[in-house]
Structures are given as structure tokens and as C-alpha cells.
Structure 1
């Protein structure tokens, strides 16, 4: 999970906001902070209440949440930004750093005919999905945690197809078309997409185990219509949720047309828990749903 923290150099008064991963340690970003001129080599990190932070401990174990302030005590000459002014540290992924976790995100996208309908911002649902996924992948590629993620994409209507097999995030073509109706555009049978996602998830968890690095899968399911066989869909979801390392997040993608209560209820029931379901309406709410789904529980 990404945390928004504020670093305050108590010697210079310089304040910087930065996005870090909860599984990183202060030491893991120290070199970047030095290169960006936020600190020099001699420093102590502490909280405003005076608690000194262990630089070898990860942010989550330090008990830090988004909005926390970390104060920097620095007795050496401070490195300054030659251009002056405030500069955001570029705490990007270090290609040489080891993985801290290994997560597969499987997008399961409804490609039925109704995905041609309009969203509340008057663009086709299929285009909103395509845009939201591209934006999500671009943001994650810029994250310091980029190397920890892999993705796969499943499209479904009355059958399921594999748009993108399990691929490391940094190897995914940013120009890939994620329009879910390509090769589909028929009826809605959600269980076909879930079944294919289950196969991908189990294969990922069985392969390439790397020591003590935690592995997990998040199945991100989007649908906008009523499933033609909800009983089979529910039973498929129940089988998937037997694994503690697989989580299902779902969204009912509404639009300008009237909502479908039964379809929305089904999506709620498929989700791993009440916090794993969201109703979405447009590109922004979709992107936020995708991001929240893949950030929870890390």
C-alpha cells in the first residue's frame, strides 16, 4: 500500500511530500533522498513526539499512516537544490532492489453488448474501462513498488478469452487496447471469466516461489449487467475464496441507463467482503476502484 508522508528537515526547515510503499524501510529510500537533496548522509529520523525511528524497519511496522510527519535531524552541511524552491523526491522503483512482495492482479472485464452503453460522462463504458486500466497501469509503473506487480486480463461475455497472460508490470505494453468488447459483445456469463481467472491465480501461486516473499492474487471483476447463470457464478466464486491468498474485488459499472438491482447484488455477493465491492460510474471512479483493490492488504 502506498503512503503519503511528509519529511521535514529540522535544520533547514525544508519540507517535502513523498509517496512511499508501506513495505519499504527508511534505509531503502535513503539513497534517493540524498540524491534529491532532501538529506545528506548523516541523519536521524524521528516523529514530532520525539520518537526516533529505526531506519531498518518498514513503514508499516513503524505504525505510520498517510499524513504522518517524519522529522530529520541532520548535523552535516545540508545539500541544497541548485534551482531553489520545493522539489518532490522522485522515490521511484530501484531496479536492483529485491522484491518485497509478489502480487498478481487479474482484471476480469465484462465484454457483453451492454458495455457499448454510455457512462455518466457520455462515453461508452468499454472506452471508460480501456482508459481507466491504462491510467492505472501507468501510475503503478511509476511507483517504487512496480517490480512487485504482475497483471493478467480476462475478457468475457458468454465465453472467456485471455487478453493478457500473466506478465510483469514493467513488461506490459502501455499501448495495449483493453476494450473488453473486442472479440465479444454477446451475453453476460460472469462465471466463465471467474473460472479462467481462477486458473491464472492458482498457476501464479504455484510457480516461482521466492523464499519468504509473500505472494497473493487480487481478482478485479467488473460487470454491468445481469448474469445468465448466477448460481454457477456464486459457486465458482466460493471455490476461489477458499484460498487465503486470493481476494475478489468487484464493481457494478452503472451508467446512464437504469440500474439493475439483481446484478448489483450478485456482484456484492461475489466479493471477498463488504469492503471489496464498489459501484462505479465513469473513468475516475473506475480507476479509483482498480487502485484501491490492488492496494488493500499489502
Structure 2
């Protein structure tokens, strides 16, 4: 080896067999560099939560917390589950709330730990204790965001899942139903709906069934004809339904 090459090679120590001596590297810098490497996405999955923020969601749910607080807990558990997934970099999350107006809680964004710091109780985003839910106007905005998402990731493996969480007192329901049909007409988009039952409805079976049928009408059906709809007062059952919907649409465990 010439003296010139020896000088250049002096910054990297080698053994007599010309193997790199990694003990001479800055391990902290190497670890930092590796941690910032983002693996290529296998797919692009947008999960869009659409939350009922009207006054009735401040009423007490089965857990003793308000239905709005139960929504916050359920969504955070879903986000935590996705953050722990080996496919976490494949997901984007968006959150809108609706009442007699619209509120943006989270614009569609890549999964990030600070999403767990947001309070997703939809009733906190409206100054008025609104009585009616104008879901149809919010669905227009959701449809626009989804189309922008598909354009951004054109030519890639891309899907969207819209999850509507409500207790069902939706004004202009026919309009909302038509707009979900438009959203569902794209084969890459699935709509799931979750009815947050009021415990007091147990004495009014007819009203409960009518409300269930409305929310079920908004949801997609899978290939076996099963609906992406659930009606329950159990937060764990609601959370499990969301996980199952995400797994089914994304085709992952």
C-alpha cells in the first residue's frame, strides 16, 4: 500500500484482512441516521373520522363518561394501535367534526406520536350546544379531501376508509345518504358507520330500530354482504369494529 493511500485510509481502521473496524465509527450518529430512514410504503391508507359534535353527544354514555369523551378514548386507542403496527407509515389520519357547522380537528396527516395529544371529543369544537347534525355539508369536504388524496398518490396502492360516529339525529338525512353513495361509488373508498346508542333508548325499540336503519344505510357492505355498521353502547365493541374495518380495507392483520 502506498504512503498516499495509507494517509487517506487512516480515518478508517481496518484489520489485516481489510475488514472494517466498526468500533471506530460514531455509533450515536449511525443510530440517529438509521432511525430517520423511512421505509417505502406498501400502500397508502387514509382513515377519515367524521364525528358528531352536537349537544346530545355531551350526554352520559354507558361508561359514565359522555359519548363525546368515549369517542376521544376510542380514537386514541385506534391511533395507538396503528402507531404500534409494522405498517404504521402506510396510514394517514384525518378527523372532522360536524354539528350545525364544520370543524377540522386534524387535516389528513401521516401517523405521528403527537396525534395522541389531541382531544378528539367533538363537542369541544363548537361554541353552541347544537341540537341537529348537518352531516351532508361535512361529507362534501370529506369527499374533496379523499379525491385530493387519490390524486396525490395516483398510480399507487391507495384506499380510503370513512368512519362516521354519531347518535343518529341527522338533519337532511336524505342528502347525507346521497353523498355517502357518491363517496362509496369509488371502489377504493369504504364507509363505516357507528351508532352511539343512548342507554335510555332501550324503552323505545321502534325509535332505536329506525335510527339503526338510517346509520346502516350510510355504510358500505363487504364482499360477503356484511355491513360496515355497528350499533352498541360498549366502547370496546366500537373500538374492535373500527380495528376490523381498518384491517379489512387495508388487507392486513
Name the TM-score, length of structure 2 as normaliser. 0.75
Report how far residue 96 of structure 1 moved: 4.0
2:144 corresponds in structure 1 to 199
Residues 95 and 147 in structure 1, CA contact (< 8 A), matched pair in contact too: no
Which of 263, 280, 285 aligns to 2:211? It is: 263
Gaps of 5+ in 1: 1-92
Whether the aligned pair in 1 keeps the contact of 2:59 and 2:67 (CA below 8 Å) is yes
Asked if the contact 1:160–1:196 (Cα under 8 Å) also holds between the matched residues in 2, the reply is: no
CA distance in structure 1 between the aligned counterparts of 2:86 and 2:93, rounded to whole angstroms: 17
Which secondary structure does the structure 1 equivalent of 2:125 belong to? coil
Give the secondary structure class of the aligned counterpart of 1:287. Answer: helix
Q: For the pair shown, which has the larger CA radius of gyration, 1 or 2? A: 2
Shift of 1:100: 0.8
User: Who is 2:41 aligned against?
Assistant: 99
Structure in which a larger fraction of residues adopt helix: 2
Normalized per residue, the structure richer in strand is 1
Query: What is the RMSD of the two structures over their aligned residues, measured on CA atoms?
Result: 1.9
Shift of 1:238: 1.3
CA–CA distance in 2 between the matches of 1:266 and 1:117?
21
CA distances 1:102-139 after superposition (whole Å, capped 9, x unpaired):
10000000001110112222211011000111111011
2:177 paired with 1:177: no
Q: Give 1:1-298 correspondences, 5 Å limit.
A: 96-170=38-112, 172-184=114-126, 185-186=129-130, 187-209=132-154, 213-258=156-201, 260-273=208-221, 274-297=226-249, 298=251
Distance 2:210 2:114 in 1: 35
Distance between the aligned counterparts of 1:155 and 1:95, measured in 2? Answer: 34
Please identify, of 199-208 and 279-288, the stretch whose mean Cα deviation from structure 2 is larger.
279-288
Shift of 1:190: 2.0
User: What is the number of residues matched between the two proteins?
Assistant: 204
Q: What is the rounded CA distance, in whole Å, between the counterparts of 1:208 and 1:201 in structure 2?
A: 11
User: Runs of 5+ in structure 2 lacking a partner?
Assistant: 1-34, 203-207
